[in-house]
Amino acid sequence: MTTEQLSDAELAAQPAAYWTGVAYESLITFTRARHAELGFTQPQFWLLRNLSKNDLLPAGGGMTVPELRQAMSSYLRAEDDLAGEAEILLERGWLTRDGEGRLWITEAGEEGRVSLKQHAPAIRARMHEDIDEADYVTTLKVLRQLIRNTGGSVD
C-alpha cells in the first residue's frame, strides 16, 4: 500500500492495523539501527534503564533476568535475548551479578546509561522530521482512542 496518490477519503478508508504495524516495524528498525551505529542495542539500554535508581528503578536494587523480562514485557520483542544482552553488559563491566543471580548496574553502567540516553533526542528528532507537533499529538490521541474502542488499555 502507498499513500502518495491517495485522497483524504481514500486514506480515511485505510486499515489502521496495517499502518500501525508498518509504523511500528519501521520505527523499531530505525531506532535499533541508530543504536547499533553507536555500539549498543536497544535491549542493552533497556536493561540499564530498568536497573538504574536514576531511571526506571527509583528504589534501586538488583533484578534477575526473568524479573527484568517481566518488567519489560510490554515492549520486549520475541527475538530480544535479555540473558545474552546482560552477558555483554557484564563483560563490559556495566553490570554485576550477585550470588542469587540478580543483576546490578555498576557505576560504569550508570555512566554508560547516561551517555546512551544523550542520543535519544537526536533519534527522536530524526523520526519527527517534517511532522508538526500538533499533528503528532492528534495522531497519538487518535491511536489511544482506537485502542480504547477495541477494548485495549492506554494506561
pLDDT (average), residues 102-123: 97
Domains of the chain from N-terminus onward:
25-127 (1.10.10.10)
Residue 42 near residue 35 (C-beta atoms within 8 A)? yes
Query: 155: pLDDT confidence band, cut at 50, 70 and 90?
Result: confident
Task: Report the pLDDT value the prediction gives residue 3, as an integer from 0 to 100.
Answer: 45
Task: Report the pLDDT value the prediction gives residue 60, as an integer from 0 to 100.
Answer: 86
Q: Please state the pTM of the whole predicted model.
A: 0.85
Residue 95 near residue 106 (C-beta atoms within 8 A)? yes
DSSP string, 83-128: HHHHHHHHHHTSEEE-TTS-EEE-HHHHHHHHHHHTTHHHHHHHHT
Q: What is the pLDDT of residues 12-25, one digit of tens each?
A: 999 999 999 999 99
Q: What is the pLDDT of residues 59-87, one digit of tens each?
A: 988 999 999 999 999 999 999 999 999 99
Task: Report the pLDDT value the prediction gives residue 142, as an integer from 0 to 100.
Answer: 96
Q: What is the pLDDT of residues 1-60, one digit of tens each?
A: 554 789 999 999 999 999 999 999 999 999 999 999 999 999 999 999 999 999 999 898
Question: To the nearest whole number, what is the mean pLDDT of the chain?
Answer: 95
